């Protein structure tokens, strides 16, 4: 049974009409303008109190490396935030990153990557590849886990497929939280889930996907990595809720991984909404604990 906190969060989403801000193309473009004027990508004062934070510039964009204060890290994580490829990292992302860094005793690199419509998928991939290589150089031969939520999960998969193609070092594990794997969002099952999804809306996300593709076909694997190769991927771990319109494509990708014999795990949480592991509630704490166990090589 879903927790009281999860029900309260859904109620807040509905009161704030988060879904309404994504209902169609014109609406999401207006929402982007409002968010650009109000959202600060930088980690806030509370995050600075909890973590050691280093800021660097990579290709003209800020990148943060955060670690628990006074500790030698056990893990290294490359984190790509969500936001439909058009919205910036927000305080709940930073709260999750801070909590996870402490629970896993991890150093986390967080690139503030280029967003659409000002930039496109090619810019995002080039930038995250450069940031990945900078983190590689920083940690040496230590393992790096790649983690991303929503659009960040899709970008993380596309980046990993790009690293595979050029013969570069791959992540130890790829953790995808409610990943956006196919920007088309055109499967019939998605329309069936849409009324129950309190957060995401098909029309607005499709417009965001077109802006991100910037003329590339939306089934190009760089845009929709569900169409990319799976053979040779590192272990992939997918966390998705049943009240999330991205769930059918996550299940489709998990099936592809299983059919190819790839190491993977698929965690489908009944009644949960988009990116529930980032929210402070019992279901999220269980998901975070699962991620840490998987990082340590435990089932």
* CB-based contacts of 69, cutoff 8 Å, min separation 6: 50, 51, 52
Number of domains comprising the chain: 1
Which CATH number covers residue 24? 3.40.50.1820
Residue 107 Cα to chain centre, angstroms: 17
- pLDDT digits 0-9 by tens, 106-161: 999 999 999 999 999 999 999 999 999 999 999 999 999 999 999 999 999 999 99
Distance from C-alpha of 296 to C-alpha of 299, rounded to nearest angstrom: 9
Tokens of 289: 């604990």
Question: How far lies 54's CA from each of 67, 68, 107, in Å?
Answer: 9, 12, 11
Residue 262 structural domain: 4-295
Please state, rounded to an integer, the average pLDDT across all residues of the chain. Answer: 97
Q: What is the pLDDT of residue 23?
A: 96
Distance from C-alpha of 58 to C-alpha of 266, rounded to nearest angstrom: 33
What pTM did the predictor assign?
Answer: 0.97
Q: How many CB atoms lie within 10 A of CB 110?
A: 24
* CB-based contacts of 161, cutoff 8 Å, min separation 6: 221, 225, 228, 229, 233
DSSP E strands in the chain: the ranges are 51-58, 61-68, 75-80, 106-111, 145-149, 174-177, 236-241, 264-269
Q: What is the pLDDT of residue 32?
A: 97
- pLDDT digits 0-9 by tens, 148-200: 999 999 999 999 999 999 999 999 999 999 999 999 999 999 999 999 999 99
């Amino acid at each position: 049974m879903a927790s009281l906190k999860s029900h309260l969060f859904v109620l807040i989403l509905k009161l704030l009409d988060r879904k309404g801000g994504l209902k169609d193309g014109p609406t999401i473009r207006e929402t982007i303008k409002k968010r650009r004027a109000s959202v600060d990508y930088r980690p806030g004062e509370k995050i600075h109190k909890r973590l050691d934070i280093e800021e660097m510039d990579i290709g003209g964009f800020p990148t943060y490396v955060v670690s628990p204060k006074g500790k030698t890290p056990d893990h290294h994580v490359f984190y790509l935030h969500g936001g439909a490829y058009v919205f910036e990292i927000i305080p709940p992302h930073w709260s999750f990153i801070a909590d996870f860094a402490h629970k896993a005793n991890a150093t986390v690199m967080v690139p503030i990557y280029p967003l659409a419509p000002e930039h496109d998928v090619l810019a995002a991939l080039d930038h995250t590849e450069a940031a990945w290589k900078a983190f590689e150089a920083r940690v040496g031969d230590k393992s790096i886990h790649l983690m991303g939520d929503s659009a960040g999960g899709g970008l993380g998969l596309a980046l990993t497929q790009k690293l595979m193609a050029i013969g570069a070092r791959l992540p130890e594990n790829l953790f995808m939280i409610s990943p956006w794997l196919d920007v088309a969002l055109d499967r019939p099952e998605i329309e069936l889930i849409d009324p129950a999804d309190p957060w995401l809306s098909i029309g607005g996300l499709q417009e965001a996907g077109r802006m991100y593709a910037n003329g590339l076909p939306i089934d190009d694997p760089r845009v929709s990595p569900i169409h990319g190769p799976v053979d040779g991927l590192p272990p992939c771990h997918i966390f998705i809720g049943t009240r999330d319109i991205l769930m059918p494509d996550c299940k489709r990708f998990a099936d592809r991984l299983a059919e190819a014999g790839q190491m993977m795990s698929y965690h489908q949480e009944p009644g949960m909404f988009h990116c529930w592991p980032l929210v402070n509630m019992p279901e999220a704490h269980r998901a975070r604990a699962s991620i840490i166990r998987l990082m340590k090589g435990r089932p």
